[in-house]
Amino acid sequence: MDNQDVAFILDEIGEMLEIEGETPFKIRAYHRAAHTIRGLSEDINEIYKDNRLQKIPGVGKGIAERIAELIETGKLAYYEELRAHVPPGLLRLMGIPGVGPKKARLFYDKLGITTIEELLRAADEHKLKDLPGMGLKTEENVRRGIIEFQHLRERILLSEAYPLSDNIIRQLKKYDFILKASAAGSLRRMKETIGDIDILVASSNLKETMDIFCGLPEVVHILAKGETKSSVVTRVGLQVDLRVVSLEQYGAALQYFTGSKEHNIHLRDIAKKKGFKVNEYGVFEVKTGKRIGGVTEKEVYNLLGMEWIPPTLRENKGEIEADIADALPNIIELSDVKGDLHVHSNWSDGLSKIEEVANDAKKRGYNYIAISDHAEKLKVAGGLTANDYRRQWEEIKKVNQEIDGFVILRGAEVNIDNEGKVDFDEDFLKEFDIITASVHSGFTQSKEQLTKRILGAIYNKHVNIIGHPTGRILGKRPPYPLDLKEIFKAAAETGTFLELNSFPDRLDLKDDYLREAKEMGVKFAINTDAHSVGQLRYMFYGVATAQRGWLEPKDVLNTYPLEEMMKMLGK
């Protein structure tokens, strides 16, 4: 039970109380406690051990007792009770924009709706508009909300699934009879969102393996427990499938269960033409039925006359053709990254001091970072005035003198206004080492206007990078409409870098756009947009997304040594 697990359960309690029509005061108390616990740097288990739960801001006696029960027993009777009479689907319904607890309850009470699919059908059949307090317009809003957000809601962010999967694999690997274990499926392909986690194990003891898996502390519900396949639900509501094979089958099974399905279908086609058959058990010669390989993934690909293909490329988007033509990209790795050019500090809305950020970045093996705090027009994020930046440069200078073999650059994240202009005049912009310009307002404007704004920033010769270019927030906000072709063309022409923002709910530009832009000659910067030292680790998700976009080190600004990079910025 870690901080995130506890926070998740407290939030769910808050939501269920809301559906039950409890007092706002009580509901807020749970959400506030969840919010604080999610942001704590200290482990909640330690706090509990020291008897300090009630010292956490927003945690009173009642909530402290609930947390204690959770930590001691891994369960909470109060939570189970609520779950028993609030249909769990209603919580999901509340995720749809325009559907609050009252409406969720209304749809359930009057129409028995508990799933998003049922709600969509009811909206399509105009069954919602005559309910009390509804109407044609509200019905249409609900319908549109579902269509925009349905897909995103039902999948979980890679950044949530990845640590969970990693943790499960680590626990399984402790046993001698578990010979190999790996993630498969979309998680191994590092898709931005994950439907369910697939784990593959080679084991010499099937029964023990299944018992251990189903008994993991993360597991809250067992959906199916079989000899070679089990499915469980973990605490964050995410399904995990485990498949167990023998060591000889491991390579073929890993290939098969990594997918994607489309990649596999194409691969089987190629096998067929060669007189082979490929499935999760191995590679077989059709004529004789003889098994000719499948111990490793590499063997599977090699037998088909191919090189091993990195999982992040396996989407049947040309990787098989490229492999056969010996033209697979030399995809970027985390170790190629030499710095992070979009990091916030406590000068704007970040939590960490410049010195802390620099030291952590150095420990990651970087050679440079750019502190790119928000500029003044973004008041909500503590945007800096010209004078604030000048004072910040004093601090940067001081830290630079104290730290060896590492350089902190003077950056800024300026705002692109409705006319495509950014904060500050040319003379001041010139004084920075690197300028990132981003859209932070007017997301509902027309495609024409938004495109014009970004083009304005691209043609500004002091703007080096366009931050989070499409503005999407996974599960919350769709990308704003843009003429991306125009933008890619202008970025390539002017040498303006487009950001791949690594924040896990952004991953913006996304994989397919990266590839399209690269083909048009665009170069990129992979940055974290970290607002605290811990978030510098998000580079991992950015690089994975870059791989999915077929980016190579040479396409990415922050893989170059400092001097070369500064030259590329025209400095």
Contacts with ligand DGT, residue ranges (CB under 6 A): 185-186, 191, 194-196, 198, 256-257, 259-261, 264-265
Nearer to ligand DGT, 151 or 207 (CB): 151
CB of 232 to ligand DGT, least distance (A): 14
Q: Which amino acid does the sequence have at 514?
A: L
- String of contacts with Zn ion for each residue 396-435, x by CB under 5 A: ----------------------------------------
Provide the b/e sequence for 375-385 (b: ≥16 CB within 10 Å): bbbbeebbbbe
**Residues 268-297 interacting with Ca ion (rule: CB under 5 A):** none
Comparing CB distances to Ca ion, the nearer of 66 and 189 is 189
Closest to Zn ion by CB, 506 vs 548, is 506
* Gyration radius from the chain CA atoms: 26
Cα-based torsion angle of the residue sequence 518, 520, 522, 526 in order, rounded to the nearest 10 degrees? -20
Could you tell me which of 194, 197, 202 has the C-alpha nearest to residue 173? 202
Determine the residue with CB nearest ligand DGT: 259
Window 448-467: residues binding Zn ion (CB under 5 A): 467
Compute the least distance from the CB of residue 165 to Ca ion, in Å: 10
Buried b (16+ CB within 10 A) or exposed e, 405-434: ebbbbbbbbbbbbeebbbbbeeeebeebbb
Min CB(265)–ligand DGT separation in Å = 6
234 binds Zn ion (CB under 5 A): no
Name the packing angle between helices 484-494 and 511-519 (round to 10°).
50
Tokens representing residue 546 in the block: 């870059």
- Dihedral sign computed on CA atoms, order 480, 484, 490, 494: positive
The Cα 410–Cα 396 span in angstroms is 8
- The one of Zn ion, ligand DGT, Ca ion, none whose footprint includes residue 257, by CB under 5 to 8 A per kind, is ligand DGT
Q: Which residues sit opposite 293 in a β-bridge?
A: 283
Applying CB under 5 A, among 14, 185, 251, 469 the residue interacting with Ca ion is 185
Phi/psi at 383 (5° precision)? -55, 145
> Is there a cis peptide before residue 70, judged by omega within 30 degrees of 0?
no
For 522, which DSSP code?
-
Least separation in angstroms between residue 457's CB and Zn ion is 13
By beta-carbon proximity to Zn ion, the closer residue of 186 and 438 is 438
Pull the structure tokens for residue 92: 């999901």
* Smallest separation (angstroms) from ligand DGT to the CB of 567: 41
Of the pair 194, 434, the CB lying nearest Zn ion is at: 434
Sole window of 211-219, 237-245, 368-376, 467-475 interacting with Ca ion (rule: CB under 5 A): 237-245
Of Ca ion, Zn ion, ligand DGT, none, which one sits near residue 470, judging by CB under 5 to 8 A according to partner kind?
none
Decide which of Zn ion, Ca ion, ligand DGT, none touches 260; Cβ closer than 5 to 8 Å per partner kind. ligand DGT
Partner from ligand DGT, Zn ion, Ca ion, none contacting 101, C-beta within 5 to 8 A by type: none
Question: Which backbone phi and psi does 105 adopt, to 5 degrees?
Answer: -65, -40
Question: Which residues contact residue 179 at a Cβ distance below 8 angstroms, ignoring those fewer than 6 apart?
Answer: 202, 203, 204, 247, 250
Q: What are phi and psi of 369, to 5 degrees?
A: -140, 160
261 binds, options ligand DGT, Zn ion, Ca ion, none, Cβ within 5 to 8 A by partner type: ligand DGT
List b or e across 111-128, with b for residues whose CB sees 16 or more CB atoms inside 10 angstroms: eebbebebbbebbeeebb
Helices (H) and strands (E) in the chain, counts: 24, 17
479 makes contact, choosing from ligand DGT, Zn ion, Ca ion, none, with CB < 5 to 8 Å by partner type, with none
264 contact, one of ligand DGT, Zn ion, Ca ion, none, CB 5-8 Å limit per kind:
ligand DGT
Identify the three-state secondary structure at position 437.
strand
Q: Which residue is nearest to Zn ion (CB)?
A: 438
The dihedral built from the CA positions of residue 269, 270, 273 and 278, taken in this order, carries a sign that is: negative
Least Cβ distance, residue 195 to ligand DGT (angstroms): 3
Least gap, CB of 380 to Zn ion (angstroms): 11
Q: How far is the CB of 515 from ligand DGT (least distance, A)?
A: 19
Closest to Zn ion by CB, 438 or 527: 438
- Token pair of 410, please? 């003077």
Site membership for Zn ion, residue 532 (CB under 5 A): no
Beta carbon nearer to Zn ion, 467 or 469: 467
Min dist CB 278 to ligand DGT, Å, is: 9
* Binding partner selected for residue 438 from ligand DGT, Ca ion, Zn ion, none, CB under the kind-specific 5 to 8 Å limit: Zn ion
Q: Is residue 241 a contact residue for Ca ion (CB under 5 A)? A: yes
DSSP three-state, residue 368: strand
Which residue in 207, 205, 253, 201 sits closest to 226, CA to CA? 207
Question: Which member of 3, 264, 345, 438 binds Zn ion (CB under 5 A)?
Answer: 438
- Residue whose CB is nearest to Ca ion in the complex, by number: 185
Q: What residue ranges bind Ca ion (CB under 5 A)? A: 185-186, 196, 198, 241
Residues at the interface with Zn ion (CB under 5 A)? 438, 467
